[in-house]
Amino acid sequence: MKSDPGFYDYWPYENRPKIRWPGGKKMAFWVAPNIEFYELNPPVNPSRKAWPQPYPATQGYSIRDYGNRVGHKRQMDLLDKYGIRGSISLSTALCDHHPEIIQMCKERGWEFFSHGIYNTRYTYGMSEQQERDMIKDSMDSIYQYTGQKCAGYLAPALSHSELTLDLFAEVGTELFGNEGGIYTCDLFHDDQPTPIHTRSNKPFVSIPYSLEMNDTIAFVVNKIEPRRYGQMLKNNFDRLYAEGDESGTIMCIPTHNYQVSCPHRMKAYEEALDYITSHDDVWITTGKEIADYYLEHYYEQAKADIAQKGAAHKRTAI
């Protein structure tokens, strides 16, 4: 085990090279619906239980199924209304189970990125080859069902190994060259994209996917009231929008159709989306479009700035 994963270098938020998004916009905004499939009776993982109760875990399983049966259409209609294309964090077995959902999202030009195969199959305990196979299977599924070359990754149920990011980057290259496996949503250390070190040294970035704005973290972990969640979204937006004057910022709302699409939560969510999209200086986009744009325009500059500041810091320390 390591004391630090070593994916990125310290890089202070102040005095970074200035970012401007396409059209000169100061802020990028993306919504990442997690569209997940949880199994009623998954195989046992030695490190993590899928369900707290012995099989069948009626409650936990069925509320997640609610997201697909009931919630998906609600959130999709809402995103349509505000001109937002979702960037789907996808349990890719859902391509097989519920291709109807995949088709609807595909027709809307939504992005699909990998969130593993099932959200009840954890990375813990996998060999390197097993994790590589699982990631490849998930990216293959996305390509087969949508024609998209999977660019992003969020590990299933946020279960990682030390090699997760390396493997995702490598499998992406193997399948799709420089178009596949270019960004991760697994790290929460920054409000701007960050170059990430991987074993293969390919251009690879962390794109801010806010755990704090994640509806499941808000509602289930932090037990926040729906209207307060709506207010938090607006506050998060206001600050990042203001800071965008200095250098481009990113706001992400990660959602789950079994959480935010419940009838008592939709109103506050809609109010927040209405508020955010009413601002002019916002690039409403997807995770992949942010990653592509950043890699093309700012990645090398960022790396150079990080290297220079790191070297200066070392000199000072001596």
The residues binding another protein (CB under 8 A) are: 37, 39-41, 43, 45-46, 52-56, 58-59, 61-66, 68-70, 72-74, 93, 96-101, 117-118, 121, 125-127, 129-130, 133-134, 137, 219, 223, 225-227, 262-268
- Measure Cα distances from 176 to 30, 203, 204, 250, 307 in Å: 24, 14, 14, 26, 29
User: Are the CB atoms for 66 and 38 separated by under 8 Å?
Assistant: no
Minimum CB distance to another protein, residue 227 (Å): 6
Judged by CB, which is closer to another protein: 207, or 233? 233
Minimum CB distance to another protein, residue 68 (Å): 8
Minimum CB distance to another protein, residue 309 (Å): 38
How far apart are alpha carbons 141 and 147 in whole angstroms? 9
Judged by CB, which is closer to another protein: 11, or 158? 158
Paired tokens of 217: 């973290």
The partner residues of 254 in beta bridges, in order of sequence, read: 32
Paired tokens of 77: 């209609």
Judged by CB, which is closer to another protein: 61, or 153? 61
How far apart are alpha carbons 35 and 53 in whole angstroms? 23
- C-alpha torsion angle, residues 103, 109, 113, 117 (rounded to 10): 0
Judged by CB, which is closer to another protein: 2, or 314? 2
Judged by CB, which is closer to another protein: 249, or 261? 261
Minimum CB distance to another protein, residue 236 (Å): 20
Minimum CB distance to another protein, residue 289 (Å): 28
Paired tokens of 67: 């997201």
How far apart are alpha carbons 213 and 221 in whole angstroms? 12
